[in-house]
Structure 1
């Protein structure tokens, strides 16, 4: 029994690390294709940001769902989580992505402030979106549980 738990834990860690690296590659390529600077000064910042985004989105999903395409599609494309864990994977990940997207809006403005430099705005936006997603997942999960209890009575 103890060996099974360790085996499950080690598989989840392995899937999570693989998901972290795969997600970082996806986010780095996506950021570069959407206009992130690629100079030597900014490449390390882009890699750090892509690792952060992957840790907020891909890592939890990979650790829990592994390579189950059906679960990934249900959670991220259809946005239909069924349990508490799925709510805690789905909504914070969506919040981080949307937060990062909205955080990028002030970067091209001509204010020339230090906080507009890549990737400060998108990082703060991603973290704020993630926190909002965590709060929303708690609220929606408990609201859905309460509604189920009311229907049964």
Structure 2
């Protein structure tokens, strides 16, 4: 059920936060140049991480749930700590599922894992810290079926979208089409970014519906 913080973040604030994160991705894409992910994935992913990391950490630290007991800088520190932790978990999961482990792929795997951490782990680390219940809510699919806090919608749907997008993006890798974009982690990165953006849109719709339900109950 929604907590006391559920109505404090408006749909506009949520959309603005996601718009800032999207803008940082767009800036990174512009700096890397069109097709850079295919021609030089290490450079493209590095630029995505460099541009996205400060924005994600700043935005979600500002939206931290425990604002009275946790300062902005403490929340940012949680995000900075969560970045490598989330990267390790994402890299481990990718390798277990078949990602290549040769020296040739180390740098791209590191940058991809850091980007995935920004999509999946860092926002929750900034907002919720080590709250077990909140982390369970982030990982759960129940947000799509039951009312919850605005922060959960903001974090969970883009997180789920990135993971699902990366998984779908990995499907063409073992096929013998011999296309350059089938190389790790190009198609997986395209899928993760696309899924993350779709998740942002889904989360905004869920938040708008949530706000409508809250207003209907108040009336």
Q: Give the alignment's TM-score, normalised by structure 1.
A: 0.90
Aligned to 1:95: 161
Give the C-alpha shift of residue 78 in structure 1.
Answer: 5.0
Q: Which consecutive residues of structure 1, in runs of 5 or more, have no partner in the other structure?
A: none
- 1:82 CA displacement: 2.3
CA contact (8 A) 1:79 1:90 kept: no
Return the TM-score normalized by structure 2: 0.64
Cα distance in 1 for partners of 2:138, 2:109 equals 26
User: 1:145 and 2:208 equivalent?
Assistant: no
Contact 1:24 1:47 survives alignment (8 Å): yes
Q: Which one is further off, 137-146 or 78-87?
A: 78-87
- Residue in structure 2 matched with residue 82 of structure 1 by the alignment: 148
Give me the whole-angstrom Cα distance separating, in 2, the residues matched to 1:132 and 1:24: 21
Where 2:98 maps in the other structure, the secondary structure is coil
Measured in 1, the distance between the counterparts of 2:90 and 2:203 equals 23
Aligned mate of 2:118, from 35, 55, 63: 55
Per-residue deviation, residues 7-38 of structure 1 (Å, max 9, x unmatched): 61111111001111111011111111111111
Deviation at 1:152, TM superposition (A): 3.8
* Per-residue CA distance 1:48-84 (angstroms, 9 max, x = gap): 1110100111000001100111110122135437232
Identify, as 1 or 2, the structure richer in helix: 1
Distance 1:19 1:61 in 2: 9
CA RMSD of aligned residues (A): 1.7
- 8 Å CA contact 2:137–2:152 kept in 1: the answer is no
Matched, 1:104 2:104: no
Q: CA deviation at 1:85?
A: 2.4
**2:154, 2:83 → 1: CA distance?**
17
Alignment of 1:1-150 (within 5 A): 8-77=71-140, 79-80=142-143, 82-150=148-216
* In 2, Cα distance between equivalents of 1:114 and 1:75: 35
* Residue 138 of structure 1: how far off its partner (Å): 0.5
Q: Secondary structure at the match of 2:71?
A: helix
CA distance in 2, matches of 1:96, 1:132: 9
Give the distance between the partners of 1:24 and 1:105, measured in 2 at CA. Answer: 21
